[in-house]
């Protein structure tokens, strides 16, 4: 990183002896500064190392600054209150000790600026060291505040420093996922989590409003990574781990209340999701929405707009939105008028090949489990699945065929699809309209599940056997499809290969006993070659 000249780091005051090892030189200077105020100017040399182009020098300087300013904070040798400009230190009637505290406070502020810049450094080791140093300073500022307030009535937490760290982590130009994962250690602390959530919400609103809501893939991915690393507590008693221990127990401190954490968490996610997201991020959000977001939101129905919009997108995003909608419908009485029409339209050939196939059919099974659904609706789902089964892979068929049979078991009126005596042995056109998106208009009840009879001739014996279930009266007990939902082609092949043959397979009906002569006077060679 190129050297920058600042008022806090004066290049004119450098007295670095480059013959010495940087680590020894930095440590010795830090020790001298701590031991005696007469060595205060050596702080410029330590800060200059923070701008070195060598990684080792920068890391050593970060460690040195952490030790130095943590000691000064603990001693109370940094100026507390509104800091005057550095030019005013020369004159005035202030004491030498007060001028020293102001001088070191300016140096401390300069150190914080450099550390914040290093969060965007190309070297991960420097990034990590800078982040840890900043959080160490946050902890020390909490114990020894630099604001001149009556702390018996306030809470000593360095909000401004946390906001600055969050702003650097939410970079608009660089993917910070690795460093954010390192930051998760601090997010497990109750006070850090609470103030980080507030800072992220403010940052998202400011940045996205500035860009008029335009999609910003890198920035939004950093925000999502940070949000997904927040683990919310489920009970008030779990709020025990704090970065800053408050001397007195403040009952009205928001960071110590689960209700306030949930409120901040809710406002954070709603503020993030109200803007347009990259298409790939919709999938990431929907995957964790039902178990990592909705349970920790005070009013989950506020997610209705986002979920319904995602459900209308189509494809894999709609499949994933089913989980969140199921929670809202089942637990919060969400009324979605065209829900089953949309669910019906999601049944396409691609549904057997998507990554989230198991989740989709698990939820579809739940949604179609009610015995109060109209017969035409259940018949439409059964017929559409049967038609799609003609081109489905064997692993999917072993799950879909029992699924269809279960639908017929739950709704006996649909048995006409597999047994229509009046139409036996009669060739006729299928009245079912595959292209019709409305289940009530597709004429499924007027059709039959002839596709299942076709699958009885399938090349895979397990599929053919499963399709033959309709040849006998269906039992009252439903088939358990839970173990078949995630069945893959690889698992299917492994299962077939591990099957033991109950009988020996005959390979040669007339075994040869000799090379040249066998039974009937013909040997192995005689069967394949002729001497004539």
- pLDDT, average across residues 35-61: 90
The residue among 310 and 86 whose pLDDT is bigger is: 310
Quick check: 226 and 214 in contact, CB under 8 A? no
Quick check: 351 and 319 in contact, CB under 8 A? yes
The DSSP secondary structure of 178-239, one letter per residue, reads HHHHHHHHHHTSHHHHHHHHHHHHHHHHHHHHHTTT---HHHHHHHHHHHHT----SSGGG-
CA 324 to chain centre: 15
Q: State the Cα–Cα distance between residues 305 and 265, nearest whole angstrom.
A: 18
Quick check: 138 and 171 in contact, CB under 8 A? no
> Is the predicted pLDDT of residue 511 greater than 70, yes or no?
no
Residues 6+ apart with CB under 8 A from 461: none
- pLDDT, average across residues 116-139: 94
> Is the predicted pLDDT of residue 379 greater than 90, yes or no?
yes
**Share of residues in the chain with pLDDT > 70 (%):** 84
CA 354 to chain centre: 19
Question: Which of the four pLDDT bands, split at 50, 70 and 90, describes residue 135?
Answer: very high
> Is the predicted pLDDT of residue 316 greater than 70, yes or no?
yes
pLDDT score at 247: 62
pLDDT score at 129: 95
63-to-44, 60, 105 alpha-carbon distances in Å: 15, 5, 18
Q: How many C-beta atoms lie closer than 10 Å to residue 116's C-beta?
A: 17
Least confident of 38-42, 50-54, 484-488, 502-506: 502-506
- The 10s digit of each residue's pLDDT in 482-502 is 888 878 778 888 877 777 666
SS3 percent helix, strand, coil of the chain, rounded to 5, is: 60, 0, 40
Q: How many C-beta atoms lie closer than 10 Å to residue 252's C-beta?
A: 8
Q: What is the DSSP letter of 499?
A: P
Q: State the Cα–Cα distance between residues 487 and 480, nearest whole angstrom.
A: 13
Question: Which of the four pLDDT bands, split at 50, 70 and 90, describes residue 156?
Answer: confident
The residue among 503 and 72 whose pLDDT is bigger is: 72
- The 10s digit of each residue's pLDDT in 9-23 is 443 444 444 345 666
pLDDT score at 11: 38
Residues 6+ apart with CB under 8 A from 468: 456
- pLDDT, average across residues 36-65: 91
- pLDDT, average across residues 465-469: 90
- The 10s digit of each residue's pLDDT in 250-307 is 566 788 888 889 999 999 999 999 898 888 888 899 888 888 888 888 888 888 888 8
- Helix then strand count (H, E) for the chain reads 21, 0
pLDDT score at 523: 57
Question: Which of the four pLDDT bands, split at 50, 70 and 90, describes residue 73?
Answer: very high
Q: State the Cα–Cα distance between residues 369 and 321, nearest whole angstrom.
A: 19
- pLDDT, average across residues 511-522: 56
Quick check: 182 and 176 in contact, CB under 8 A? no
Q: State the Cα–Cα distance between residues 409 and 23, nearest whole angstrom.
A: 77
Q: How many C-beta atoms lie closer than 10 Å to residue 517's C-beta?
A: 14
Q: How many C-beta atoms lie closer than 10 Å to residue 347's C-beta?
A: 17
Of 449, 450, 464, nearest to 394 by C-alpha is 464
Of 433, 370, 451, 357, nearest to 407 by C-alpha is 370
- The residue with tokens 């259940």 is 378
Question: Which of the four pLDDT bands, split at 50, 70 and 90, describes residue 173?
Answer: very high
pLDDT score at 17: 41
168-to-55, 165, 308, 483 alpha-carbon distances in Å: 20, 5, 34, 46
Whether the CA torsion 357, 360, 366, 369 is positive or negative: it is negative
pLDDT score at 15: 40
Angle at 155 between CA 150 and CA 160, to 5 degrees: 105
Quick check: 232 and 261 in contact, CB under 8 A? yes
Structure tokens belonging to residue 128: 């990590």
- The 10s digit of each residue's pLDDT in 325-376 is 888 888 888 777 788 888 898 899 988 888 888 888 988 888 888 888 899 9
pLDDT score at 515: 59
Structure tokens belonging to residue 445: 């009840």
pLDDT score at 258: 87
Q: State the Cα–Cα distance between residues 367 and 402, nearest whole angstrom.
A: 16
Question: Which of the four pLDDT bands, split at 50, 70 and 90, describes residue 529?
Answer: low
Q: State the Cα–Cα distance between residues 454 and 460, nearest whole angstrom.
A: 13
Q: State the Cα–Cα distance between residues 44 and 9, nearest whole angstrom.
A: 6
Residues 6+ apart with CB under 8 A from 454: 390
Angle at 175 between CA 121 and CA 136, to 5 degrees: 50
pLDDT score at 71: 93
- pLDDT, average across residues 185-209: 92
Quick check: 255 and 157 in contact, CB under 8 A? yes
Prediction pTM value: 0.75
> What is the maximum alpha-carbon separation in the chain?
129
Average model confidence (pLDDT) for the chain?
83
Angle at 457 between CA 455 and CA 458, to 5 degrees: 65
Q: Measured between alpha carbons, how far apart are the two ends of the chain, in Å?
A: 90
Question: Which of the four pLDDT bands, split at 50, 70 and 90, describes residue 380?
Answer: very high
pLDDT score at 2: 41
């Amino acid at each position: 990183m190129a050297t920058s000249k600042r008022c806090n780091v004066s290049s004119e005051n450098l007295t670095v002896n480059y013959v010495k090892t940087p680590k020894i030189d930095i440590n010795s200077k830090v020790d001298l500064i701590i031991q005696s105020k007469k060595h205060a100017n050596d702080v410029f040399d330590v800060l200059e190392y923070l701008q070195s182009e060598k990684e080792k020098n920068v890391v050593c300087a970060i460690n040195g600054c952490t030790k130095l300013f943590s000691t000064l904070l603990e001693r109370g040798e940094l100026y507390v209150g509104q800091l005057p400009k550095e030019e005013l230190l020369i004159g005035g009637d202030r004491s030498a000790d007060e001028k020293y505290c102001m001088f070191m406070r300016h140096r401390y502020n300069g150190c914080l600026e450099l550390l914040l810049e290093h969060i965007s450094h190309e070297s991960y080791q420097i990034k990590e060291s800078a982040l840890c140093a900043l959080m160490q300073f946050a902890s020390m500022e909490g114990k020894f505040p630099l604001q001149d307030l009556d702390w018996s009535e306030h809470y000593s937490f360095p909000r401004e420093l946390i906001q600055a760290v969050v702003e650097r982590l939410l970079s608009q130009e660089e993917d910070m996922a690795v460093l954010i994962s390192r930051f998760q250690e601090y997010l497990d602390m109750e006070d850090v989590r609470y103030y980080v959530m507030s800072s992220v919400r403010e940052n998202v609103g400011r940045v996205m409003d500035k860009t008029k809501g335009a999609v910003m893939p890198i920035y939004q991915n950093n925000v999502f990574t940070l949000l997904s690393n927040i683990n919310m507590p489920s009970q008030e008693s779990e709020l025990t781990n704090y970065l800053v221990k408050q001397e007195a127990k403040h009952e009205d401190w928001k960071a110590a209340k689960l209700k306030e954490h949930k409120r901040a968490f809710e406002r954070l996610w709603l503020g993030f999701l109200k803007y347009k997201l990259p298409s790939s991020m919709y999938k990431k959000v929907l995957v964790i929405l039902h178990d990592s977001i909705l349970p920790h939101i005070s009013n989950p129905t506020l997610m209705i707009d986002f979920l319904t919009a995602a459900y209308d997108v189509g494809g894999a995003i709609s499949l994933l939105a089913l989980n969140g909608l199921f929670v809202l419908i089942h637990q919060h009485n969400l009324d979605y008028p065209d829900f089953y029409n949309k669910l019906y339209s999601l049944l396409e050939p691609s549904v057997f090949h998507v990554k989230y196939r198991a989740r989709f059919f698990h939820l579809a099974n739940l949604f179609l489990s009610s015995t109060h659904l109209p017969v035409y609706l259940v018949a439409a789902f059964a017929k559409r699945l049967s038609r799609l089964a003609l081109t489905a892979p064997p692993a999917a068929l072993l799950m879909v065929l029992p699924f269809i049979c279960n639908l017929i078991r739950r709704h006996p009126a649909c048995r006409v699809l597999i047994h229509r005596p009046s139409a036996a042995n009669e060739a006729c056109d299928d009245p079912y309209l595959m292209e019709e998106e409305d289940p009530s208009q597709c004429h499924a009840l007027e059709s039959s599940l002839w596709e299942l009879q076709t699958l009885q001739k399938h090349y895979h014996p397990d599929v053919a056997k499963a399709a033959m279930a309709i040849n006998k009266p269906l039992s009252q007990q439903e088939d358990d499809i839970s173990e078949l939902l995630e069945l893959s082609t690889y698992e299917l092949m492994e299962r077939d290969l591990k099957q033991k043959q109950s009988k020996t397979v005959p390979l040669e009906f007339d075994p040869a006993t000799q090379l040249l002569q066998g039974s009937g006077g013909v040997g192995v060679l005689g069967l394949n070659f002729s001497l004539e």
